[in-house]
Amino acid sequence: MINKKKTTIKDIANALNISPAAVSKALHDDSRISAKTKEAVKKVAKELNYQPNHLASALRRGKSNLVGVIVPRTNSNFFSSVIQNIEEVLNKEGYNIIITQSNESYKKECSNIDTLLFTQVDGIIASMANETISLNYYEKIKSKGIPLILFDRGENDLNVDYIGINDYESSHMIVEHLVEQGCKRIAHIGGYRRTRIFNNRIKGYIDALKKYDLPLDESLLIESSLTLEDGREKMLQLLNLKNRPDAVYVAGDYAALGALQVLNENNIDIPNDMALVGFGNEPFTSMVTPTISSINQHSTEIGKLAALTFLERVNNPDIKQTLNKKILDAELIIRDSSHVKKD
């Protein structure tokens, strides 16, 4: 019953009394094989339950049709959605993906890269760990000559394709929205400036304040690790100021949630006493009370674009990889935490 021995192209060849080469060509619809033979081969292949040996063909062709994906973690809605869309696009083109997580650790990221190169992937799509500063390992990918595509967390210096949202502009949208709600003192709990996307959000925040003639108060701009705990801490810090802000823009949803908890615990009216905006549109932002306004990072488009960019690269291997940024406009989703009812 159970067919332990796997059927190979040779078995089909023997069954039909033709050569393995003919079988291979028939299965690939080679023009030099007659329609009759093709039909016969496909019929026998099905009968014998033939499954091509991917390893053999990959070895011979020098192409594995596997694409490696590296993300900081998969249990974030943003990353899992990006992955899903990468998969969807690439599957259609005959590629399969291998997902690995760095857990925000540089060391893990390096070992992931080794793993993927070892598996002979045809390319790597990655979002860098928070910890990552050295680019040695990413250079290693480039030196292998396989396409490297970065998204969300990228690095200009690598001179590769990058897909992300317009962080600078997102900050503008948020500040503009808060100004419209009547806020005059807008604080920003941002990420660390050394990470490019967080630096851009900070720059956008500062420039937007200027645009709306709001003074930049250094005590209202705080760098953070953006964890839930750190969000709580930094929010408390803001509440203890003599001159409290009337709005807080937090560069990550988890930290925004921490801030929300602190505000609720101190019975501060959101959004009337303090408006709150997060970043990332994690599902829980619409689950908590009050719901948190946030930025939609367009994970669907980022995933699709990353996959398409890879395909472009892999299909044009002679074109040298250069810095090539695709920046999407983000979308502000206004929820209860920043929507002042006017009457």
Partner DNA sequence: TATATTTGCTTAATCGTTTAAGCAAAAGTA
Partner DNA sequence: TACTTTTGCTTAAACGATTAAGCAAATATA
Q: Does 292 bind a second copy (CB under 8 A)?
A: no
Taking CB under 8 A as the criterion, the residue among 119, 227, 266, 272 binding a second copy is: 119
Q: Does 74 bind a second copy (CB under 8 A)?
A: yes
Contact assessment for residue 178 and residue 247, using Cβ atoms and an 8 Å cutoff: yes
Q: Does 324 bind a second copy (CB under 8 A)?
A: no
Q: What is the DSSP letter of 286?
A: G
For residue 123, the minimal CB distance to DNA (Å) is 18
123-154 b/e (C-beta count within 10 Å ≥ 16 → b): bbbbbbbbbbeeeebbeebbeeebbbbbbbbb
Residues 6+ apart with CB under 8 A from 316: none
Q: Classify residue 296 by burial, with Cβ atoms within 10 Å: 0-12, 13-18, 19+.
A: middle
* Nearest one of 117, 113, 120, 115 to 134, comparing CA atoms: 113
257 binds, among a second copy, DNA, none (CB under 5 to 8 A by kind): a second copy
Taking CB under 8 A as the criterion, the residue among 14, 19, 34, 84 binding a second copy is: 84
Q: Does 319 bind a second copy (CB under 8 A)?
A: no
For residue 260, the minimal CB distance to a second copy (Å) is 9
Taking CB under 8 A as the criterion, the residue among 39, 43, 56, 211 binding a second copy is: 56
Residues 6+ apart with CB under 8 A from 55: none
Q: Does 304 bind a second copy (CB under 8 A)?
A: no
For residue 247, the minimal CB distance to DNA (Å) is 59
Name which of 17 and 267 has its Cβ closer to DNA. Answer: 17
225 binds, among a second copy, DNA, none (CB under 5 to 8 A by kind): none
Q: Across the strands, what pairs with 100?
A: 70
Name which of 24 and 297 has its Cβ closer to DNA. Answer: 24
Report the distance separating Cα 201 and Cα 250, nearest Å. Answer: 10
* Nearest one of 181, 178, 245, 186 to 214, comparing CA atoms: 186
Name which of 13 and 263 has its Cβ closer to DNA. Answer: 13
Taking CB under 8 A as the criterion, the residue among 21, 30, 55, 184 binding a second copy is: 55
For residue 59, the minimal CB distance to DNA (Å) is 4
135 binds, among a second copy, DNA, none (CB under 5 to 8 A by kind): none
Quick note: the x/- pattern for a second copy over 195-224, rule CB under 8 A, is ------------------------------
170-199 b/e (C-beta count within 10 Å ≥ 16 → b): bbbbbbebbbebebebbbbbbbeeebbbbb
Q: Does 117 bind a second copy (CB under 8 A)?
A: yes
For residue 12, the minimal CB distance to DNA (Å) is 8
3-state SS string over 101-152?
ECCCCHHHHHHHHHHHHHCCCCEEEECCCCCCCCCHHHHHHHHCCCCEEEEC
One-letter amino acid identity for 49? N
Q: How is residue 273 written in tokens?
A: 């006493």
SS3 at position 52: coil
For residue 69, the minimal CB distance to a second copy (Å) is 9
Of the listed pieces 39-47, 125-133, 280-288, 324-332, which binds a second copy according to CB under 8 A? 280-288
Q: Which residues bind DNA (CB under 7 A)?
A: 6, 8-10, 17-22, 24-25, 27-28, 31-34, 36-37, 50, 52-53, 56-57, 59-62
* Nearest one of 166, 165, 162, 134 to 148, comparing CA atoms: 162
Report the distance separating Cα 25 and Cα 32, nearest Å. Answer: 8
Name which of 31 and 143 has its Cβ closer to DNA. Answer: 31
Residue numbers of the site for a second copy (CB under 8 A)? 1-4, 6, 51-56, 58-59, 64, 66, 73-77, 79-81, 83-84, 87, 91, 96, 98-101, 103, 111, 115, 117-120, 142-145, 228, 257, 261, 264, 284, 287-289
